[in-house]
Amino acid sequence: MNALVRKIESRLAGLPVPVAIQLPAGQRVGPAAAAVTLSFKDWSGLATMAAGQIGRIAEDFVESRVQLEGRMRDLMAVAARLVPGSPVESNASWFTQLARRARSIAHHSPQKDAEQIQFHYDVSDDFYALWLDPRRVYSCAYYASADMSLAQAQEAKLDHICRKLMLRPGERFLDIGAGWGGLLMWAAEHYGVNATGITLSKNQHAHVNRLIDARGLKGRVRMELRDYRELDEGQGFDKIASVGMFEHVGEANMNAYFGKVRRLLKPGGLVMNHGITAGGVGNSQVGAGMGDFIGKYIFPGGELLHISHVLKDMALAGLEMVDTENLRPHYARTLWAWSDGLEARLDEARAVLASTLSAPEAERVLRAYRLYLAGCAMGFEQGWTSLHQILATRPDHDLQSGSLKGAQSTYPFKRDYIYR
């Protein structure tokens, strides 16, 4: 044990903020005035820390085997320094790829997807409302100016997407994975589209339908509890958005997903795919146990692909990428805003969760979300994960359509219209 303690002491010396460790036997290692204190119930947790298995330490915190004291921002600065090597290195062996694909297939049937989405998004609407913006937009915001609040940046993101899609009054617009209806309502109320949203979350479905009734949008906006695979391809949509959804599709289903999107889109139409991408070329989750933690406690079945793989799958499905924008640091700032919002209201969050869960389960969920939001903010800052908006078309093969010969779509092949 002395060797392990010495190893821990050497790790503490190089950390960006003062850290103290409370050992299982009661003794304390580190400064008295530490910014972060970790108290371990058993020695195995210390060995995990020494090995840099950040995800395992996070699991021990959720399960009350480790106690953490200090600001989340300080804790994440420490966690980033403890990670050994790069957490986005990939194991590209044929066996690893085969096993990953088999796991992806098993985790993404329509029934499994519904269960996994409801596991996350149906935790509690009131819980999410504590730390999201008033529109409950649960995806990367767009900080068009440095002084924007979270609410302003989310509205800027909604409008950024609508402008990129060149939405026009009367167009048939589909939002795949419409969440609590932020984009659906914005597109209908500000751009006059005929909007359809789908979700697998029962809570979100009920919430958005209440909004539709309250705002007098029945007949022009609809929200369906439906899997994207079930959508009717008969009529076609002029424009499609998928925001924060394709992370749940699974690598094995990516070709089929983009193929479905292409068939739902009218020839010449535009689709915006906005989602999290992997920081490494060959990894489907972040290493050092962090991806495993998120899969267990937050997003079961979630899988990430590098932007190069996403673009390949889109091209194979017959979609032409016309614009790609990386918003990675915007998501870091968004997640810190969510994290700070939750940290400021921990007692309220605990009470809200305890209204539908047992007290121990409410505490587990709260601890998991605290680490998830702050940990993801740190991961986006570090470049371990990224966020891309990909605008694509379904070419109509009419060389005379569009503003330029050969455009074959409504896309003008210049960017100035987005920023007017």
The residues annotated with a catalytic role in the active site are 376
Neighbour order of strands in the sheet with 172-176: 221-225, 194-199, 172-176, 237-243, 265-278, 385-393, 320-326
DSSP state of 60: H
Residue 167: what residue type?
L
Place of tokens 């795919």: 273
Phi, psi of 159 (to 5 degrees): -70, -35
Tell me how many degrees the CA angle 11-291-381 measures, rounded to the nearest 5: 65
Beta strands across the sheet bearing 66-69? 28-29, 19-22, 36-40, 66-69
Q: The tokens of 56 are what?
A: 């395992």
User: What residue has token string 């009054």?
Assistant: 169
Cβ(331)–Cβ(380) under 8 Å? yes
Are 339 and 391 contacting, i.e. CB atoms less than 8 angstroms apart?
no
How many angstroms separate the Cα of 127 from the Cα of each of 73, 102, 224, 400?
A: 21, 34, 23, 52
C-alpha 366/C-alpha 350 separation (Å) is: 7
Query: Cα dist. 123→198, 342, 349, 365, 378 in Å?
Result: 19, 15, 12, 9, 24
Helix H segments across 132-169? 150-164
- In angstroms, rounded to a whole number, what is the distance separating the alpha carbons of residues 246 and 313? 12
Determine the 3-state secondary structure of 172 from DSSP.
Answer: strand
DSSP letter assigned to residue 215: T
At residue 410, the 3 state secondary structure works out as: coil
Alpha-carbon span 201 to 122, nearest angstrom: 6
H helices present in 355-400, as ranges: 359-382
